[in-house]
A and B are shown apart, each in its own frame.
Chain A
Amino acid sequence: MNRYFKAKVIENLSLNSSHNLLTLEPLDPAAEPNPGQFYMIEAGDSYDPLLKRPFCWLQKTRETIQFLFRIKGKGTSLMRAFKKGKVISVIGPLGNGYPLPRKKRTPLIVAGGTGIISLFSLINKLSHNCHVFYGARNKDELLLLNELEKLGNKLIVCTNDCSFGKEGMVNEVLSQFLSANESIKTSCLIYTCGPKPMLQEITSIAFHEGIRGYVSMEENMACGFGACQGCVVNTISGYKKVCKEGPVFPIEDIVWT
């Protein structure tokens, strides 16, 4: 099974002004991804943009792989225009993915913005109930709400401008939850993905509360499979490649700058 494959666009649905749901059908047999793994996707047919873009998978069926992406710059703007039937090249699944928790641990899933996409496949896979904390800037930026509700976990949603759910940042909501549920601290495990400043806040909460966990990191990538050394983050044991040794790292390993 080759991790470099061609795939056909089955559907490219615009969810709102800044997010699309892309469904691809691999033309060759594709490997089963783990939660938190990602794919490098070709964004255009020309040399500009040149590099593939990294995206986490959202859902996988026997025939298709689904992605949810935010329109950010040049590459994702071109991806938004992908038409049904277009064939693109893809590399993946890549990276390590989230290690599953042991039976007795309660997962606390903490997502900021598009971080929910990476964590969604994990929530989907977890057999035990978890707490999901999900924050976005405003109501329009919230993704996958119906799907998350259907999964039947405890879900706390917050927005910075109070346009939906609780008001505030997801790290504040997590802190409040932990002070109200002292007993959970010894038996929980954090999984987090989102913007850097938020991840840094979550790391410091985890540190102060003595909770362990995992964080999924983002860095610019050229290859996605460990060849260019371009995507490193600083860890307590030196620079590590996000695409290969990550994107998921033990939360206490990251050295924030």
Chain B
Amino acid sequence: MDLAVEIGSLKLKNPVMTASGTFGYGEEYSEFLDLNMLGAVVVKGISLKPMEGNPPPRICETPCGMLNAIGLHNIGLKRFLKEKLPYLRQFDTKIIVNILGNTIQEYVRLSKALDDAGVDAIELNVSCPNVKKGGIIFGTDKRALSRLVLKVKQSAGKRVIITKLSPNVSDITEFAIAAEESGSDALSLINTLRGMAIDIDTQKPKLANITGGLSGPAIKPIAIRMVWEASQSVRIPVIGIGGIINAQDAIEFMLAGATAIQVGTANFINPMATIEIIHGIRSYSEGKNIDNIRDIIGRIHGTAGHNNINL
């Protein structure tokens, strides 16, 4: 049985990756699982300079999900290259670095440095809802997104560039197409949805940042729909993210059109979730006599649905 998939020129041994910001820099999970088994590790978003993040409380639970406003708390490019990358290199898995900047120039400098350092792929976070400046502007303005992807692609040579789309837009396909046309090698979606929760005892927002990004099973149906829409509007591979807890969820994303998937919030609840998902995909394939997992990607495309509704 073949679980291998390809994201542009990047060959993954299986379609299961970790979602940025939920897997630290890999080290945090090494006591729980064998990192060699993962398709890829996507690390916490890196900026040029270290960022201290938002004040607490930064997270709160909501029905079937959670809100976070971490604010891109990270150690910065220099320390990442020196302290974290060498550790990850010991493993036989692909290393994908999620990056965030305030300006195109910052994204370009980050991509160049990571290209030089030889990471396997770069994921452009243009969709973090929790930082005041930058990032999100590229995720919600098509022209800005096109310029960004173009510049990064020009400067980071042949490195695989993945554009991580924001779900906080009215038509995801416009952004998917803009990223593809500007040279992005793949798309990943979705990032968190902007949300909010209020404590009725204190009559204050539950997060110090007031709003935060919603993740977990609560967002899965929205993510499935967006992956389904985006994957039909572009030719480049789409990586599905959003509320994946088990293999069934992962397979649902692949049927909707995802070539690979990322596991986020589930890692917090079950640090071995990714490994269990890989096993689950394998037994599903065995049960259905699927020789090659690639065969199920986008299986439902072209289905008219029960009522033949045209979208």
Contact = CB atoms under 8 A, between A and B. Distances in A.
Interface in B263-277: 265, 267-272
A48 interface: yes
A219 B56 contact: yes
Interface residues of A, number: 31
Interface string B51-67: 01101111111011110
B57 A4 contact: no
A91 B273 CA distance: 13
B58 A232 contact: yes
Interface string B30-73: 01100000000000100000001101111111011110101001
Nearest to A228: B268
A223 interface: yes
A150 B57 CA distance: 39
A50 B269 contact: yes
A47 B28 contact: no
Contacts of A234: 55-56
A239 B73 contact: yes
Nearest to A222: B268
B24 interface: yes
Contacts of A47: 64, 216-218, 245
B contact patch SS: loop
Contact of B57 (A2, A42, A220): A220
A6 to B, nearest CB: 11
B271 A225 contact: yes
A219 B271 CA distance: 20
A230 B61 contact: no
Contacts of B68: 222, 228, 230
Nearest to A230: B59
B22 interface: yes
30 contacts: A3-B31, A47-B64, A47-B216, A47-B245, A48-B63, A48-B64, A50-B217, A51-B61, A51-B66, A219-B56, A219-B57, A220-B57, A220-B60, A222-B68, A223-B267, A225-B271, A226-B24, A227-B22, A227-B23, A227-B29, A227-B271, A228-B68, A229-B21, A229-B70, A231-B58, A232-B58, A239-B52, A239-B55, A239-B56, A239-B73
Interface of A: 2-4, 42, 47-52, 89, 91, 219-234, 238-239, 257
The 7 A-B pairs of least Cβ separation, nearest first, read: A230-B59, A223-B268, A47-B64, A227-B24, A227-B28, A222-B268, A47-B217
